[in-house]
Structure 1
């Protein structure tokens, strides 16, 4: 087909040989492979960033702009937090599991961060916090280190991972919608990449 397209003067599709569409979420085994590696090598910042990215389910643009006071209450890491999403201008809540609270506490202490500081300050003087591009490079390094194909995963992998696990265990679309901060259930269906028939079956079994 490629030979025929070239012969006929048709351009080769831009996405030929590339993986497009939704990026894959991490499996539980992959989550732990990354987490254990970061713990072994004492990469305190990366461990806090990884755990928070999984728990918060935030877009990269929201994650990099979190401040210490977004996750701390009275000098302690909170079990839950709420932030305003840049894209939707709507608040979204998320949980902070024990492991995430521990890693965040260690990072805040090691970095000497104060209440109003950005959680993940940039090492570049022109930027007060790591950029989404820096975050993407860090994420791809994690994937590369455990042997994942970087073309199949992205920062959106971090946002999709926990909602996908929750959906697979509970089949509760409404809960996932709330956790992701989606205004429409259809957006959650597309985001998770679940089958339409599966979604309809659940909708038929749910009384409004």
Structure 2
């Protein structure tokens, strides 16, 4: 397929010039492949279609119940790709330029209460197996530093070794979105968990020479092609842990823990700019969503406990 070659070139540009992560590139690839497949059914391609054909696809997706946020993301991918085609003289126009995505409200992120966090840690501490120690270490690091799940599972062993030998202010240096580095301080509990994990880590190294060599440098090695535990596997382990902690598994994901980290810091008076830095957000507007979470929680608190609230029910 001719378009596929240009999609590959676009993804290479995004990686080289904008520092897009592997996950971001994979998402762009899926979005553009979806557009191309939808257009092919009507005898067109992204290289030959007009605005009307794209509008028809958006309308069909809306009728089929595609979430507005998903449609907006797919449209954003297409607009960037069409601009790339135009800049490289592969199209004279940008058929997606005037398209508007579906209206969408900005939902508040799911988060966890302090009691939920306590229940998770109580459950994970009961498992003293090697895999239990690994999950406790991952949970401590994630909640201590608010890492993205990809940043967590791809941590290098050397970085963790430096943490437990630090004389003061133990921290990780994380390379996040856009290839930006940030310093993430760790709690004493997280440092102790890493110290417990490192002596048993080698027990989880794959047996084959090739897979072992690929996994050797990672803190959480795996036999998979990445050499480290996947995001999906870690999410599965969290769901299992939620059940052990008598929590609803649908409420728990790696990103929920990141939300909890930010929300709990702000609850205790942390500066919004500091939380922005810790999370690695390029724009403080992204971080401000957590203040809305606090607003919603305060509103619920008043409705549940105010002495006059019962009179209004």
Bucket of the pairwise TM-score, normalised by the shorter protein: 0.7 to 0.9
Q: Which of 285, 295, 299 is the equivalent residue of 1:186? A: 285
Residue 169 (1) aligns with residue 268 (2): yes
| Paired position in structure 1 for 2:246 | 147
Separation of aligned partners in 2, 1:48 and 1:175: 24
- The question of 1:59 aligning with 2:148 is answered yes
Instruction: Spell out, residue by residue over 1:108-144, the C-alpha distance to the aligned partner (whole angstroms, 9 max, x if none).
Output: 1112389x7211111x343410011111111212222
Conserved 8 A contact 2:143-2:261: yes
3-state SS of paired residue (2:172): strand
RCO higher in 1 or 2 (8 Å CA, sep ≥ 6)? 1
Gaps (5+ residues) in structure 1? 1-9, 197-208
Cα RMSD (Å) of the superposition? 2.8
- 2:123 corresponds in structure 1 to 37
What is the distance in 1 between the residues matched to 2:156 and 2:265?
27
Pick aligned residue for 1:79 from 156, 161, 170: 170
Q: For residue 121 of structure 1, what is the aligned residue in structure 2?
A: 221
Q: Larger radius of gyration, structure 1 or 2?
A: 2
TM-score by length of 1: 0.75
The alpha-carbon deviation at position 45 of structure 1 amounts to 0.7
Say if 1:160 and 1:192, in contact at 8 Å, map to a contact too: no
Is the contact between residue 163 and residue 170 of structure 2 (CA under 8 Å) also seen in structure 1?
A: no
Give how far 1:186 is off.
Answer: 0.6
Q: Give 1:90 deviation, angstroms.
A: 0.9
Number of residue pairs aligned between Structure 1 and Structure 2: 180
C-alpha deviation, 1:21, in angstroms: 4.4
- Change over 3 Å in CA distance of 1:82–1:74 after alignment to 2: closer
Q: Secondary structure at the match of 2:225?
A: coil
> Could you give the per-residue CA deviations for residues 141-172 of structure 1, whole angstroms, max 9, x where no partner exists?
22222222222332101211121111111152
Instruction: Looking at secondary structure, tell me which structure has more helix per residue.
Output: 2
Query: Residues 148 and 192 of structure 1: is their aligned pair in 2 closer, same or farther, counting only changes over 3 Å?
Result: farther
Instruction: Select which of 25, 32, 36 maps to 2:111.
Output: 25
Are the counterparts in 2 of residues 23 and 152 from structure 1 also a CA contact under 8 Å? no
Query: TM-score, normalization: structure 2?
Result: 0.51
Greater shift, 148-157 or 44-53, is seen at 148-157
Q: Decide whether the 8 Å contact of 2:173 with 2:182 is kept in 1.
A: yes
Q: How has the CA–CA distance of structure 1 residues 22 and 74 changed in structure 2, closer, same or farther, with 3 Å as cutoff?
A: closer
Give ranges in structure 2 of 5+ residues lacking alignment: 1-61, 68-105, 206-215, 296-313
Deviation at 1:32, TM superposition (A): 1.8
Matched position secondary structure for 2:273: helix
Runs of 4+ aligned residues of structure 1 deviating over 4 Å after TM superposition are 10-15, 20-23
CA contact (8 A) 2:160 2:219 kept: no
